Structure 1
Amino acid sequence: MHYRGREVVRVRSAYDCDVLVIGGGIVGLSTAYAITRAAPGTRVTVLEKERGPARHQTGRNSGVIHSGIYYRPGSLKARYAVQGAAEMVKFCAEYGIAHAVTGKLIVATEKSELPRLHGLVQRGRENGIPVTELGPAQLTEHEPEVRGLAAIHVGTTGICDYVAVARKLADASGAEIRYGADVVRADRRPGLGVAVRTADGSVVRGRVLVNCSGLHCDETARLTGDDPGMRIVPFRGEYYTLARPELVRGLVYPVPDPAFPFLGVHLTRGIDGGVHIGPNAVPALAREGYGWGVVRPRELGRTLSWPGSWHIARRHWRYGAGELRRSVSKAAFTEAVRRLLPAVTPEDLVPAAAGVRAQAVLRDGTLVDDFLIKEGPRTVHVLNAPSPAATASLPIGREVARRALASLAAT
């Protein structure tokens, strides 16, 4: 608004919104929700390339509300998972979204796993999580068909419908949500905010841009001119459903290998009553490569050209070979499941939809373990937010919103 003498001349804003969020998964929608809660009146637009919310990582996981027991005390994952689990249960209860606090078992099936299991007990207690140690007899009381040398029960783990959560966040945020808006170009100029062009030729201008584009977050960062310093290397997680769901009462996990961010093949009774088994972790041949038949040469070429991908292959080829074997052999996958559930047969395993984990990898091959959020001029980039990001989405959204609003105030 400009003043010319006593005459007031209104000038049309050069911006379509104050904060432009790219990505309509649970983290992007939580960010929009948090911004409008913290600063009412702030204009937020969310651009999502799919025709609805939560079509990728959010909608293709096992639906678990994670406790935070695995994560290094003091890390963002530990803090946000513990806090986020409680908030997610409260959010679901407030809005009538299907959920349950079930607890889960982490089971050691070999003597070599017992020290790691005891380490999880200590880590859980440091993170303020209720943990109960169980012997074989107590384990059988919880899960009659599961076998192991020892186990721990984690009381705060639960399950919910994350797609329903994402939809409610979209509705409750008051943000403008544009579906089918695939961002192909971004232009950031001093004093002019950030403008993006979508595949249909539309241009959207915002004062501040927030990048929550998950599997494509590194590419989005580069579109804005920021160097993310990492590359998304996609790993596909393949699932089965259990034809005899009565074999499993709740949630059963193996003791994870601390060298990897993956939790191993586990058993999850979902909110729909079915039991999911998986996932394994194999390299995907595309960012959205939900099967071996999905190959995108350009994306695969970028993964293979990243030095970190080859460092991973050299360091962990034995682990990767085992995962690939379970991917192509149902018998091998069944063998892995039988470590926990001896009664299962290959006929019990029915193929289910796969997911892809957006794993950030550094140039030296380091798998980024914690959530990673970086800032540039008038930009905030969420660069590593795989599991337990859905659990932790509400506190993550508040942190990203805080940074976006600070950037907005600075402009």
Structure 2
Amino acid sequence: MFDADVLVIGGGIVGLSTAYALTQAAPGTRVVVLEKEDGPARHQTGRNSGVIHSGIYYRPGSLKARYAVRGASEMVKFCAEHGIAHEVTGKLIVATERDELPRLHALVQRGRENGIPVRELGPAQIEEYEPEVRGLAAIHVGTTGIADYTAVAARLGEASGAQVRYGADVVRVDRRAGLGVAVRTRAGDVVRGKVLVNCGGLQCDRIARLTGDDPGMRIVPFRGEYFELARPGLVRGLVYPVPDPAFPFLGVHLTRGVDGGVHVGPNAVPALAREGYGWGVVRPRELAGTLAWPGSWRIARRHWRYGAGEVRRSASKRAFTDAVRRLVPAVEADDLVRAPAGVRAQAVLRDGTLVDDFLIREGERTVHVLNAPSPAATASLPIGREVARRALRRL
């Protein structure tokens, strides 16, 4: 009667890590993963700067802090065991203005509370790590690294032994007492399981509503716009500004990837579709859904100044270049070459609160991952185990 014990919706790194954790924890568990694209990691997982985050930014005791710290070491080990490109590079977080110094010192304290090795640097020491970077002070975080997360996701799917079905866009979900969960795809296929796990990323709130569960939040998509550095030799590793704690983005930073290229960004602007990777991608129904959510307007009122700056940098390459030059003065506008954008699935509550931590909720025979933005890729192995634990408990 059942095609699987557990159905997982979503073939990004969290969904595939969950499938892997299920079969590791309970060998013999039948797992089917349904992914609407024709391959793994086509959205958030495969469209970011590939950083293995240390966990320094996150509130001590939060899921983000615990899972990022644990996940960073586990991710390095997983990549090494499976021959996946990665490197522990360390990174600099640089203060370029005096009003950033208290926030930088607060990060030092937070890092130490999270058990992360942090070294404080003065201007001369900054240049020892990064000759082209200028700042008043910085901290060096040694456990930060980079990885090929698309390759990680693909390997998790293979190693799980799960049946991964690509091109399986879920359009309907039925739950009936004693009959488990039945999922219908756009192609007309019906797949039945005892428990459903929703790792739908940008579509997770829509999937939750299809099951009949009220997620209590909406995904408000933010597009992250990136450039590549034409002169990658200007940066040796990873260079970040001091983030604004009022907003869940880290600011424009420079990241040397596993391919040797340097990603610059992201600039965070509202996306006009869940998968709106450019200003020209507009889906009126999805945009209307975002605008109809009260929390969207409350975000706009609360953060309009910050948002206006992001939109300005989106419209003006000169403005974007100026943001980069705060960290690396040698960068010129011609050094920045447009690169593919990503979209962040940001959960927003009705009152306009931007959900700051990972958010996992449960229903009858369902487990929903409703907020898993950065550092979800870093933390994917411990997140997968937690989601798997909840799913197995429902079996």
What interval of TM-score do these two structures reach, taking the shorter chain for normalisation?
Answer: over 0.9
2:235 maps to a residue whose letter is: V
How many aligned residue pairs are there? 395
Deviation at 1:48, TM superposition (A): 0.1
Which protein is bigger by CA-based radius of gyration? 1
1:236 aligns with 2:195: no
The CA distance in 2 between the partners of 1:147 and 1:190, in whole Å, is: 63
Runs (4+) of structure 1 moved beyond 4 Å? Answer: none
1:235-254 to 2 correspondences below 5 Å: 235-254=222-241
Pick aligned residue for 1:327 from 314, 317, 330: 314
Percent identity, please. Answer: 85
Pick aligned residue for 1:138 from 119, 125, 148: 125
The CA distance in 2 between the partners of 1:331 and 1:185, in whole Å, is: 46
The CA distance in 2 between the partners of 1:395 and 1:315, in whole Å, is: 33
Pick aligned residue for 1:302 from 278, 282, 289: 289
CA offset digits 1:34-69 (Å, max 9, x no partner): 000000000000000000000000000000000000
The CA distance in 2 between the partners of 1:255 and 1:343, in whole Å, is: 20
Give 3-state SS (helix, strand or coil) of 2:127's partner: helix
Deviation at 1:200, TM superposition (A): 0.4
CA offset digits 1:178-205 (Å, max 9, x no partner): 0000000000111110001000000000
Pick aligned residue for 2:155 from 160, 164, 168: 168
Deviation at 1:299, TM superposition (A): 0.2
Structure-2 residue corresponding to 1:290 = 277
1:369 aligns with 2:356: yes
1:217 maps to a residue whose letter is: C
Pick aligned residue for 1:259 from 227, 246, 253: 246
Structure-2 residue corresponding to 1:7 = none
The CA distance in 2 between the partners of 1:206 and 1:61, in whole Å, is: 32
Structure-2 residue corresponding to 1:222 = 209
Normalised TM-score (structure 1): 0.96
The CA distance in 2 between the partners of 1:280 and 1:402, in whole Å, is: 36
Pick aligned residue for 1:315 from 287, 302, 326: 302
The CA distance in 2 between the partners of 1:319 and 1:61, in whole Å, is: 21
Give 3-state SS (helix, strand or coil) of 2:213's partner: coil
Pick aligned residue for 1:29 from 8, 16, 33: 16
The CA distance in 2 between the partners of 1:403 and 1:263, in whole Å, is: 31
Structure-1 residue corresponding to 2:44 = 57
The CA distance in 2 between the partners of 1:165 and 1:300, in whole Å, is: 32
Deviation at 1:121, TM superposition (A): 0.3
CA offset digits 1:322-366 (Å, max 9, x no partner): 000000110000011110010111100000000000000000000
Deviation at 1:290, TM superposition (A): 0.2
Deviation at 1:243, TM superposition (A): 0.4
Structure-1 residue corresponding to 2:377 = 390
The CA distance in 1 between the partners of 2:303 and 2:39, in whole Å, is: 37
Structure-2 residue corresponding to 1:9 = none
Pick aligned residue for 1:189 from 164, 171, 176: 176
Q: CA RMSD in A?
A: 0.3
CA offset digits 1:20-47 (Å, max 9, x no partner): 0000000000000000000000000000
Deviation at 1:396, TM superposition (A): 0.1
Give 3-state SS (helix, strand or coil) of 1:42's partner: coil
Deviation at 1:400, TM superposition (A): 0.1
Give 3-state SS (helix, strand or coil) of 2:267's partner: coil
Pick aligned residue for 2:56 from 27, 52, 69: 69
Pick aligned residue for 2:137 from 129, 132, 150: 150
Could you list the runs of 5+ residues in structure 2 that have no partner in the other structure?
Answer: none
CA offset digits 1:268-318 (Å, max 9, x no partner): 000000000000110000000000000000000000000000000011111
Could you list the runs of 5+ residues in structure 1 that have no partner in the other structure?
Answer: 1-13
Normalised TM-score (structure 2): 1.00
Structure-2 residue corresponding to 1:273 = 260
